[in-house]
Structure 1
Amino acid sequence: MLAQQLVNALSLGCVYALFALGFTLVFGVLGIINLSHGAVFMVGAYAALEAVTALDLPLAAALVLAFVASGVLGLLIDLLVLAPLRRRNAPHLIPMIATIGCAIALNSAAQGLFGADNLRFPDGLVPSDALSLGDITVTPVEIGIVVASFVIMALMLIVLRRSQVGRALRAIAESPKAAALLGINVEGLFRATSFIAAGLGGAAGVMIGLYSNAVYPLMGQPMLHKGIAVIILGGMGDIRGALIGGLFLGFAEVFAVAYVGSTMRDAVAFGLLFLILLVRPQGLFGKVAERKA
């Protein structure tokens, strides 16, 4: 029983981490909390669903299409909404409000196009036979989510720490003006970050749509709330923190359901999160920001 709960907690925690990885990348580079990320996540799920039902594409091709479609959408949001606000030096609250408007528009458009009912990926798209190891049962989707979470985190850390692009992104995160003076194409990297982060969000939408067996217009809203909690717990803008925070929330929820009760799931999970932030308000991997008078 305990071993199965650990596996369930790992897969659920990686679900949250998969969503939060792109979310935290945007904050780490652009310095904003993009509240349209949940809607972009939903668009990726619908793009893959249409690819496998209308175009009869395999799941791998549908994932690529979802990444590209979501990435283009994230790029458009940056070009049409966030970039003009950056040029005007808008306060941090303004982009958050603007992305809320984008999310509402995208959710409404999806509901108009596809309806409000839950849609599902076709049967047989992913092997349904679970892998049994003694008392532990794991589905192929759960294995895919766990592997994808760790692989994406590792690749992002390698790029950010070992590559020239990663060093440029870290410079932008510290000071966009100083980075521009050093000859770094700040706006170009902002756009590339928006594309990649949104693409990761769309791919996460496909994986989680398969995991929950449901695609619907508001599927990104609960994930957005959990994603905000995850990046705050892990440390704003820290890639490692997105994974660790997601795992913490997943383990807290699963064990709360198993040993306290399903009605106390969120109360226990967010109560523990609150206690941790009381001790370490900057998050597990975050740094304390100095405020100068």
Structure 2
Amino acid sequence: MKIVFMGTPDFAVPSLQALLDAGHEVCAVYTQPDKPQGRKQVLTAPPVKELALQQGIPVYQPATLKNEDEQAKLRALAPEVIIVVAYGKLLPKAVLDIPPRGCINVHGSLLPRWRGAAPIQWSVIAGDQKAGVTTMQMAEGLDTGDMLLTYETEIGARETAGELFDRLAQAGAALLVETLEKLDSITPRPQDDSQSCYAHMLDKQMAVIDWTKSAHEIDCLIRGLSPWPIALTTLAGARLKIYAAEPVPGTGKPGEVLESDPKKGLTVACGAGALALHEVQLVGGKRMKSADFLRGHAIDKGTMLGE
């Protein structure tokens, strides 16, 4: 099938590779413009662009698809179908109407739950037991199109958003190939809008831990914000990132250090239950196991985090 592929981050790379491996003709790739990254703000190509160039596929990086000139270029490519995987832009109706087989999106949630930019992370933050990937026929709204096929998986008890992200990227690629194989026989299913939640983009403000919440809620936040932006609190006024933790029995004032010993670990009281902190990092220092951290940083029992 002649395809135009639209995608940008790591999540989209397996899907593009799967299309190529399945023998589809990817005549062009659309991706976001290169952006400065890191402390030195080095101009960096999106992962999808890197794969496309390796495969000799023409790459387009328009700032917008809303103007007629860009739409004319896309129309001239004459794709049978447009595949969209985490592209990062809403497609206007004029673009949606170009391919005769429609525009198919690979979305990282069990639609209609978690529409929006960060569905995988929010499924972990919310404590969902299951996550998945849905292929759908795109419509003008945000992730509102009719569903085609769905892949469902349980979220591991200690699984981070990053780990789930990697699993679902591979599952989405396989589901995309299956969707194209069965496209003529699939009956699209409308979404129930009343069951949808909005998965807005993550930001650093939401990383600050509220110790009045339950240990389970805070644990989900820590796992959902890994590998970015990483949950954090304060220790004696300094920011302390928490990379890994686990709910344990314990009672005390929210944020109170209940245990602080290299052999016994670092335990903090929550609004309900407590958290054993396994991996931490003082901003400006190194990420390390809590036992190693406590050997170099004495923390008295009763110390309050987050103040």
What TM bracket, shorter-length normalisation?
under 0.3
User: Structure 2 length normalisation: TM-score?
Assistant: 0.23
More strand by share: 2
Rg bigger for which structure? 2
**Quick check: which one's helix share is greater?**
1
